[in-house]
Amino acid sequence: MTVRKWVLAVVAVAAAAIFTSFGLWQLRRLDARQQQNSLLASRRFAPEVELGSLPPDTGEARFRRVRLHGRYDYDNEIVHTLRGRNGSPGVNILTPLIRSATDTAVLVNRGWVYAPDGMTIDTRQWREAATLTGTGFVETFPTEGPFAPPNPVRPRAFRRLDRAAMTKLFPYPIADYYVVLTDSTSSRAPGLGSAAKTNVPPRVEPALLGEGPHRNYAVQWFSFAAISIIGLVIFLRRA
């Protein structure tokens, strides 16, 4: 072969090797994602445990189903803004739960409420019982930014749940995780009169455990590798 053919052959083979390595990398990421999903799914369907018996490692506690008992502190609840549901804007309401035998409160995601601007609601209309006996699953706070600075107009509204910023708003420590409420007993909302109606926000469902785009990306990289080799063969035959 001529020097030109040798150069093209080397380039094509090197490109195929690089594309193949990228494809294998995506398959490894897919395998890791599947293993993580399998672990989280096993926790999601495992028997419920008492909240106080969770392991201290938040990574091991995530998605575990727990039983909740305590008293709501409605005066210090916050909202998680810009939460969509079926195409509609809204917020999630997170209310501190005060538990006996501990000075650390845990935030409870009580559910989603429609808000036209995705940020502003009257949380007083969505108060449930004064105390909670219910079940839910554990979620963890994001650990990597970017986190927006506190909004002076809405200091208790958060686009992302920045735990470091939230701890400054409470008169007590809060847990390293929060609980998404799935079921609870309900009664008349506290402080709204005997005729008040209890407005229970729709509960937030667990996020789907998808596999992400890794499989499609792997197919793309392997296709590029095949095109490189097939193109080289065709070129050499024609030459």
- pLDDT higher for 71 or 45? 71
Q: What is the pLDDT of residue 111?
A: 94
Q: Mean pLDDT across the stretch 52-69?
A: 87
Q: Which 3 state secondary structure label does DSSP give 17?
A: helix
Does 11 score more than 70 pLDDT? Answer: yes
Q: Among all chains, which residue has been given the structure tokens 């035998």?
A: 101
The 10 Å CB-count burial string (b at 16+, else e) for 34-66 is eeeeeebeeeeeeeeeebeebeeebeebbbbbb
Q: Which of 38-42, 162-166, 219-223 has the lowest mean pLDDT?
A: 38-42
CB atoms within 10 A of CB 72: 21
Q: Which 3 state secondary structure label does DSSP give 5?
A: helix
Does 186 score more than 80 pLDDT? Answer: no
Residue 19 corresponds to which tokens in the numbers above?
């594309």
Does 159 score more than 60 pLDDT? Answer: yes
Amino acid, res. 103? D
What would the pLDDT profile of 207-230 be if each residue is shown by its tens digit?
A: 777 888 999 999 999 999 999 888
Does 190 score more than 60 pLDDT? Answer: no
- pLDDT higher for 106 or 59? 106
DSSP 144: S
Does 109 score more than 90 pLDDT? Answer: yes
Measuring CA to CA, how many Å separate 180 from each of 140, 141, 217? 10, 12, 33
Q: What is the pLDDT of residue 151?
A: 77
Q: Write down the pTM of the prediction.
A: 0.75
Q: What is the pLDDT of residue 52?
A: 85
State the average pLDDT for the chain: 86
Whole-number percent of the chain with pLDDT over 90: 52
Does 67 score more than 50 pLDDT? Answer: yes
Q: Mean pLDDT across the stretch 142-151?
A: 78
Q: What is the pLDDT of residue 63?
A: 87
Q: What is the pLDDT of residue 88?
A: 93
Q: What is the pLDDT of residue 8?
A: 81
- pLDDT higher for 17 or 208? 17
Q: Which 3 state secondary structure label does DSSP give 86?
A: coil
